[in-house]
Amino acid sequence: MHWLGRHRFLVLASICFFWTGVILLGHFLPGVPFLSAPWHGEQSFEDLLRREGRKTAPPQDFVFLGLDQSTLQLPPLTAEEVAGNRAFQLMTERPFPWSREVWALLLDRLFGAGARLVIFDLLFDPPNDGDPAFHAALDRYRDKVVLGANFDVANAKQAVTPNDALIPPPQLQDDRVGFVNFWADPLDEKIRAVNYRVTNRQLADLPPQPGEEVYESLSARGLEKIGHGNDVPRDFRGHMIRFTEPDAFPPRPLYEIFDPKLWHANYADGAFFKGKVVIVGASAQVEHDVFDTPMSPLTSGPGLHLQAMAAAMGHEFLQPTPRKVGFALVGIAGLVAWSLVALLRKPLLCVGALVAITTAYLGTTRLFYDKTGLLMLTVPVLSALLLSGLFSLGLEYALERIEKLRTRRTLERYVSKNLVKEILENPDSYYSTLKGVRMPVTILFSDLIGFTTLSEKADPEALVAQLNEHLSRMTSAIFSNGGTLDKFIGDAIMAVWGNVRSLGMAQDAKNCARAALGMRRALRQLNEKWRGEGRMGLGMGIGINQGEVIVGNVGSQERMDPTVIGDAVNLASRLEGLTRIYDVDILVGASAAELVRDEVYLRSVARVQVKGKIKPADVFTFIGARDEKVDPEFLKWLETYEEGLEKFRGRDFTEAKILFSRFLEFYPDDLLAKIYLEHSLEYEQAPPGEAWEAVEVFTKK
């Protein structure tokens, strides 16, 4: 782990290099699922761009006449409607395909209305009884009509062209014939690109060569007929097009052209078709002339031809990212990820930067797509960025957690756990408090009684072991109740509540009281253990006080110590020393006692004036917690003691003497009652002066 820390930059660079290499390797191993996922995902992302990005604006003069269900089945017609309509007569004689005279009638109808061009996305290969009429119409309108041909993929890509009776061979060289084929992406059978021109060798899956026969697509022939031949790409490769909206060319039922009522109502007696480019083809799914595209799984063939024409007219072609540029972008992404993690050093900032860069890159991708038609390589690039960045961050986080845990465990051997937690988790707020602030806290001092005598006689090694055992149990009680270990002073302990993180004055004081009672119990257990081992037991004094102090870093230029200072601290220390005078193990100042009164049974001890203080302070001791088992008889007779103390402070020494004597009948060894009984007897004989306030004045620390 230390080696990782020392070679951090190298380790992070290795992670980024690894993921960048994995992404690049996936390009050359498309059959490996995990490795190739980013590159397969790129296709899906590009399709998303096609759906969500800018679309090709559909020309307003493109019209799609569809062979839909209503046309193939025809609505109910009266005998009069059929008798007076040659087209309806032919369409009702037999099911589709009808006599090709229908198409001749359609051309006359459309060009009579002023149509600019009519394209048939249909195949006219088998002979038909209407071929002569259709042939004559094709000759009449030869500069304004285009028919479809098809390369039969299932039959060695043989050409299916209009029959010889319609257009003499070679049909594919006639400017009225164009192939209708679209070649789908072999990975998912979606059509994304258009071939406007192909050669014989291309059809045989061979590269084209100069001088060979060239075939034009249906859309290319149509563009040439309307004067946009220069917009047709002159090469032989597939061109990815920017699609229009899927519903840009809604099909209109073809039969309406021959229905006088609808011709008038829907097409203004033909005025609608003036200057229009009309494509005729299947719009019913039963004809199976539908293709899967990124825009829709049910794009009709005629609609796709119109999209190909619209893309060429607007030069709306899409360009992929060149391979070398794509590889460079993947490498740069890995380098950027390494730079972020290695230099920023703050996980949240790194994650934010990764998100910002990802968002900016996606925005740039969309901008390039909309403005220039460039399909910027995205999924592999962002995969390299995010995988490199997140895995590097994961390693950084793991190293930081391990280092923080190691630091915490080391620090917790010297300072309190909650102080360590605050430093590690909220360093800014913690260090700001160390500049010096006033705040209310609860302070605890504890010291061993008899340890000095023991230290003069005991074996040093055994003595240190006993002291460490004592200090471990005492600090455990402090930490488990949320206290901060301020310092060890030899065998003494100073702890504080509320300096690092306060739960409120009352809760801090209660936590301190729980810790003090826990220390009392722990020492009893230790004394039982030590005496069982033949060692001497120890006594302990605890002083507790609550008040406002100054919290800050105190020390020299070379060494600083986070601590608390003030009168409240001094009083807590003095109270710890007075435990020996009053023969109690815990002494508590009045402010702390008032805050814990509802949780602890209190006993009044004295009104004292310690060295350095002018005002006297009432002090108390803890009998026990209210949720512990406490001798109910003692609590009952404690009321007698408290009443005696009240009489004593009220200068009723005779009554005080009686009450203390009554208490001592049941608890003859109680030192506090003995002290006050002696004082009561003394003052009964020689009452104190008027200034007396039952205050014990101590001139020594």
DSSP 18-71: HHHHHHHHHHH-TTSHHHHHHHHHHHHHHHHHHHHS--PPPPTTEEEEEE-HHH
**3-class secondary-structure state, position 152:** strand
pLDDT above 70: residue 421: no
With bands split at pLDDT 50, 70 and 90, how would you rate the model's confidence at 537? Answer: confident
**What is the structure's pLDDT at 1?**
41
Q: Are 565 and 518 in contact (CB under 8 A)?
A: no
| Other Cβ atoms within 10 Å of 184 Cβ, number | 14
- The arithmetic mean of pLDDT across residues 65-93, rounded, is 89
> Among 330-339, 545-554, 609-618, which stretch is predicted with the lowest mean pLDDT?
609-618
Which residues of the chain are in CATH 3.30.70.1230 domains? 417-628
655-698 pLDDT, tens digit each? 999 999 999 999 999 999 999 999 999 988 988 888 888 888 77
Tell me how far CA of residue 576 lies from CA of 483, 543, 582, 594, 698, in angstroms.
18, 4, 11, 18, 13
> Among 336-350, 448-462, 497-511, which stretch is predicted with the lowest mean pLDDT?
448-462
Residue among 325, 177, 323, 182 at smallest CA distance from 241: 182
**Tokens of residue 242, six digits:** 């920017």
Cα–Cα distance, 67 to 63 (Å, whole number) = 13
Paired sense of beta strands 600-609 and 437-449, if any: unpaired
**3-class secondary-structure state, position 599:** coil
Q: Which residues contact 386 (CB under 8 A, 6 or more apart)?
A: 337, 354, 358
Residue among 106, 397, 142, 398 at smallest CA distance from 270: 106
98-124 pLDDT, tens digit each? 999 999 999 999 999 999 999 999 999
Share above pLDDT 90 across residues of the chain, in percent, rounded to a whole number: 54
**What is the structure's pLDDT at 4?**
45
Cα–Cα distance, 546 to 569 (Å, whole number) = 8
**Which of residues 622 and 453 earns the better pLDDT score?**
622
**What is the structure's pLDDT at 694?**
80
pLDDT above 70: residue 411: no
- The arithmetic mean of pLDDT across residues 236-256, rounded, is 93
Cα–Cα distance, 36 to 558 (Å, whole number) = 59
Paired sense of beta strands 193-194 and 158-160, if any: unpaired
- The arithmetic mean of pLDDT across residues 381-400, rounded, is 81
* CATH superfamily membership of 417-628: Nucleotide cyclase, GGDEF domain (3.30.70.1230)
Indicate the helix (H) or strand (E) that contains 622.
strand 617-625
Strands in 257-399 per DSSP E: 277-282, 290-291, 299-300, 317-320, 374-375
Radius of gyration of the chain (CA): 49
Order the strands of the 317-320 sheet from edge to edge: 193-194, 239-241, 317-320, 374-375
- Inter-helix orientation angle 379-411/33-52, to 10°: 120
Q: How many residues does the chain have?
A: 701
pLDDT above 50: residue 474: yes
With bands split at pLDDT 50, 70 and 90, how would you rate the model's confidence at 394? Answer: confident
> Among 313-322, 484-493, 638-647, which stretch is predicted with the lowest mean pLDDT?
484-493
Cα–Cα distance, 126 to 346 (Å, whole number) = 75
**What is the structure's pLDDT at 3?**
41
Torsion of CA 47, 52, 56, 62, to 10 degrees: 90
Paired sense of beta strands 145-152 and 117-120, if any: parallel
**What is the structure's pLDDT at 2?**
44
Q: Are 16 and 383 in contact (CB under 8 A)?
A: no
**3-class secondary-structure state, position 295:** coil
Indicate the helix (H) or strand (E) that contains 253.
strand 251-253
Cα–Cα distance, 664 to 685 (Å, whole number) = 21
Q: Are 599 and 626 in contact (CB under 8 A)?
A: yes
**What is the structure's pLDDT at 261?**
93
Cα–Cα distance, 24 to 326 (Å, whole number) = 10
With bands split at pLDDT 50, 70 and 90, how would you rate the model's confidence at 528? Answer: very high
**Which of residues 40 and 372 earns the better pLDDT score?**
372
Share above pLDDT 70 across residues of the chain, in percent, rounded to a whole number: 91
Residue with tokens 């004592």: 470
| Other Cβ atoms within 10 Å of 439 Cβ, number | 14
Paired sense of beta strands 251-253 and 62-67, if any: parallel
Q: Which residues contact 469 (CB under 8 A, 6 or more apart)?
A: 526
**3-class secondary-structure state, position 205:** coil
Cα–Cα distance, 99 to 87 (Å, whole number) = 9
**Tokens of residue 426, six digits:** 């909220």
The alpha carbon of residue 274 and the mean position of all alpha carbons in its chain are separated, in whole angstroms, by 58
Task: Among 164-178, 403-417, 598-612, name the most confident range.
Answer: 164-178
**What is the structure's pLDDT at 373?**
93
Mean pLDDT of the chain: 87
Q: Are 582 and 606 in contact (CB under 8 A)?
A: yes
Cα–Cα distance, 539 to 528 (Å, whole number) = 12
| Other Cβ atoms within 10 Å of 507 Cβ, number | 15
**Whether the model pTM is above 0.75:** no
